[in-house]
Amino acid sequence: LISVDEKTSSFRYVRDIEIDKHLFGADIKIKLSGSYIEANSISKKSANRIKDQLAEYNNKLGKKHVVMN
């Protein structure tokens, strides 16, 4: 009855981060080099933390890339 689906993707650059905030919780969609990763029904705080950590990771790479939302 209860299951957990997990997807791990190897990526080098985050191309886009989209957060859809609801009254309760949020959905986050992350575009990598050629694919998307999505997490639904997570807390708004978690979605913002993921966005901030990915932006920080992206900024540590040799080239500066802009993550916009």
Q: Per-residue b/e over 24-58, b at no fewer than 16 CB within 10 Å? A: eebebebbbeeeeeeeeeeeeeebeebbeebbeeb
* pLDDT above 70 (res 6): yes
Position 35 scores a pLDDT of 82
Phi-psi region of 55 (alpha: psi -120 to 50; beta: other; left: phi over 0): alpha
Position 63 scores a pLDDT of 60
CA angle, 9 as apex, 8 and 15 as ends, to 5°? 135
At 9 the three-state DSSP class reads coil
Q: Give pTM, 2 decimals.
A: 0.74
pLDDT tens profile 28-52? 999 887 788 899 999 999 999 999 9
